[in-house]
Amino acid sequence: MLDAVVSGLRLVATLDLRLWEIVGLSLAVSLSAVAFATLIGLPVGAAIAVGRFPGRQAVVVMLNALMGLPPVVVGLFVYLLLSRAGPLGELGLLFTPPAMVIAQTILVLPIIAALARQAVEDSWREYEEQLRSLGVDGVRGALTVLWDIRFSLLTAVLAGLGRASAEVGAVMIVGGNIDGVTRVMTTTIALETSRGDLPLALGLGMVLIAIVLALNAAAQIIKDAAQRRYG
């Protein structure tokens, strides 16, 4: 066990090329997915928060429930969509990084949208009268609040990133865990552990945790600085 940890650390320290390729692809896939999910999720969350339409309550419940989507189910859904016989089979995306980005975007979108919905709704109670008094409502009001609480929304984005970087099921199914093409940190850890190559699995595990920690620390620093700056 200790040997495995030491070897794992050595792999990380010696910048093993194979390991860093895997780390790079993981980051590229998860960050892209979170970027897309943020671009879509924040406006959607804000719209639901501010909008008054029939069935709104049901939409909110649905969105909250979707936060718990099982990654393998999302993977299966995207697999069916992209498989040769599927509606988007023509694109030939299955077992490529873009397929993994699509799957993770679907997985993360409800998390970011639901958390943004809650944050915007809480703030809207404070802003609504003032904004309506200024002649602002609807879309513009939602965007104003979204921008005004942008640093608080970092938490929603981080929650999405945590989900994306930690999941195995979706990328495994739609990526196929092909060495050098679609192999990412979590799928490698799962594979190498089952094969008994503990050093690589442990090394990747440590890198994964370090990255998640660093991103969260950076976000916290940004939030604190913004809080001091803008109140």
Partner 1 sequence: MSGILPLRLEGVSFAAGGRTIIEPLDLTLEAGASTIILGANGAGKSVLMRLMHGLLAPSTGRVAWRTEGPRRRQAMVFQRPVLLRRSALANVVYALDAAGVPVGQQARLAREALQEVGLAYAAGRPARVLSGGEQQRLALARAWALHPEVLFLDEPTANLDPGAAREIEAVIKAFDVAGTKIVMSTHNLGQARRLGDEVIFLHQGRVAERAPIEKFFPRPVSPEAAAFIKGELPWA
Judged by CB under 8 A, the chain residues 68 through 107 that form the site for partner 1 are none
- Closest to 26 (Cα-Cα) out of 178, 219, 195, 171: 171
Can you tell me the distance from the alpha carbon of 218 to that of 209, in angstroms, rounded to the nearest whole number? Answer: 14
Can you tell me the distance from the alpha carbon of 157 to that of 20, in angstroms, rounded to the nearest whole number? Answer: 25
**Is position 126 an interface residue for partner 1 (rule: CB under 8 A)?**
yes
**Is position 52 an interface residue for partner 1 (rule: CB under 8 A)?**
no
Quick one: which of 15, 53, 129, 196 contacts partner 1 (CB under 8 A)?
Answer: 129
**Is position 222 an interface residue for partner 1 (rule: CB under 8 A)?**
no
Quick one: which of 54, 58, 68, 133 contacts partner 1 (CB under 8 A)?
Answer: 133
Amino acid letter, residue 215: L
At a CB cut-off of 8 Å and minimum separation 6, what does 64 contact?
A: 114
Q: With contacts defined by CB under 8 A, name the span among 31-39, 54-62, 90-98, 133-141 that binds partner 1.
A: 133-141
- Here's the x/- map for partner 1, 138-167, by CB under 8 A: it reads as --x---x---xx------------------
**Is position 230 an interface residue for partner 1 (rule: CB under 8 A)?**
yes
Q: Give the DSSP letter of residue 180.
A: T
Amino acid letter, residue 221: I
